[in-house]
Structure 1
Amino acid sequence: MSDRLDWDKDGADWPNRATSRFVTAGELRWHVQIMGDGPVLLLLHGAGSSTHSWRDLAPLLARRFTIVAPDLPGHGFTQAPRARDMSTDGMAKAVSSLVAALDMNPAYAAGHSAGAAILCRMRVERAIEPRLLFSLNGALLPFDGFAGRVFSPLAKMMFKNTLIPAPRLFAWLASERSSVERTLRNVGAHLDRRGVEFYARLFRNPGHVGATLGMMAHWDLKSLRRDLPRLDSHLVLVATEDDRAIPVRDAHAAAGLVPGSRKIILRRGGHLLHEERPEEAFDLIVAAIEQDEAGSASPAPSVFPPAPPARHVGGVGKAARGQKKPHPAPPQAGQGGAQGEDQAKAGQEVQQEAPAAGPPVQKKKHRLARHQDQDQIGDAPARK
Structure 2
Amino acid sequence: MLGEPQVPVWAHDGRDWPNRAHSRFLPSGGLTWHVQEMGQGPALLLLHGTGAATHSFRDLAPLLAREFHVLLLDLPGHGFTQRPSRDGLSLDGMARLVGGVLARMGFAPRLAIGHSAGAAILATMALQARIRPDAIIALNGALRPIPGAALFSPLAKLLFLNPLAPRFFAHRARSRSATAKLLADTGSIIDSRGIDLYARLFSRPGHVAGTLGMMAQWDLAGLERRLARLDRPLVLVTADGDRAVPPGDAELIAARTPAARVVALGHGGHLVHEEQPAAIAALVLRLAGEFGIRTDVAASGADTRSLATSASA
Q: Confirm or deny a common fold (TM above 0.5).
A: yes
2:228 aligned residue = 229
Note the 1:148-187 alignment, pairs <5 A: 148-162=149-163, 165-187=164-186
Deviation at 1:25, TM superposition (A): 0.7
CA contact (8 A) 2:91 2:121 kept: yes
2:33 aligned residue = 30
Deviation at 1:325, TM superposition (A): 6.7
Deviations 1:23-50 (A, max 9, x none): 1011110000000001110100001000
Q: Which amino acid aligns with 1:203?
A: F
| Residues 255 and 64 (structure 1), Cα distance of their counterparts in 2 relative to 1, 3 Å cut | same
CA contact (8 A) 2:232 2:259 kept: no
Query: What's the C-alpha RMSD, in Å, of the aligned pairs?
Result: 2.2
| Residues 322 and 196 (structure 1), Cα distance of their counterparts in 2 relative to 1, 3 Å cut | farther
Deviation at 1:355, TM superposition (A): 6.2
1:324 aligned residue = 298
Q: Distance in 1 between matches of 2:12 and 2:155?
A: 33
Aligned structure 1 segments of 4 or more residues deviating by more than 2 angstroms: 321-328, 354-358
Q: Distance in 2 between matches of 1:259 and 1:175?
A: 45
1:314 aligned residue = none
1:82 aligned residue = 85
Q: Distance in 2 between matches of 1:19 and 1:63?
A: 14
TM-score using structure 2 length: 0.93
Corresponding position: 1:112 with 2:115: yes
2:18 aligned residue = 15
Deviation at 1:291, TM superposition (A): 1.4
Relative to total residues, which structure has the larger helix share, 1 or 2?
Answer: 2
Deviation at 1:275, TM superposition (A): 0.5
1:3 aligned residue = 6
Q: Distance in 2 between matches of 1:212 and 1:356?
A: 36
SS at 2:80 equivalent: coil
Q: Distance in 2 between matches of 1:238 and 1:116?
A: 11
Deviation at 1:110, TM superposition (A): 0.2
SS at 1:180 equivalent: helix
Corresponding position: 1:52 with 2:45: no
Deviation at 1:76, TM superposition (A): 0.4
Deviation at 1:267, TM superposition (A): 2.1
SS at 1:265 equivalent: strand
| Structure 1 segments unaligned to the other structure (5+ residues) | 297-320, 329-353, 359-382
Deviation at 1:357, TM superposition (A): 5.5
Q: How many residues align?
A: 307
Deviation at 1:188, TM superposition (A): 0.9
CA contact (8 A) 2:285 2:304 kept: no
Note the 1:204-243 alignment, pairs <5 A: 204-243=203-242
Q: Distance in 1 between matches of 2:140 and 2:305?
A: 29
Note the 1:1-384 alignment, pairs <5 A: 1-144=4-147, 147-162=148-163, 165-293=164-292, 323-324=297-298
CA contact (8 A) 1:105 1:128 kept: yes
State which structure, 1 or 2, has the greater radius of gyration over its C-alpha atoms: 1
CA contact (8 A) 1:74 1:207 kept: yes
Q: Distance in 2 between matches of 1:229 and 1:260?
A: 8
Deviation at 1:327, TM superposition (A): 6.7
> What is the identity percentage for the equivalent residue pairs of Structure 1 and Structure 2?
48
CA contact (8 A) 1:325 1:357 kept: no
CA contact (8 A) 1:47 1:212 kept: yes
CA contact (8 A) 1:57 1:282 kept: yes
Deviation at 1:322, TM superposition (A): 7.2
Deviation at 1:160, TM superposition (A): 1.6
Q: Distance in 2 between matches of 1:171 and 1:356?
A: 41
SS at 2:50 equivalent: coil
Q: Which amino acid aligns with 1:152?
A: S
Deviation at 1:235, TM superposition (A): 0.9
Q: Which amino acid aligns with 2:41?
A: G
Q: Between the two structures, name the one with larger relative contact order (CA 8 Å, sep ≥ 6).
A: 2
CA contact (8 A) 2:282 2:304 kept: no
Deviation at 1:148, TM superposition (A): 2.7
Deviations 1:213-236 (A, max 9, x none): 000000111111111011111111
SS at 1:323 equivalent: helix
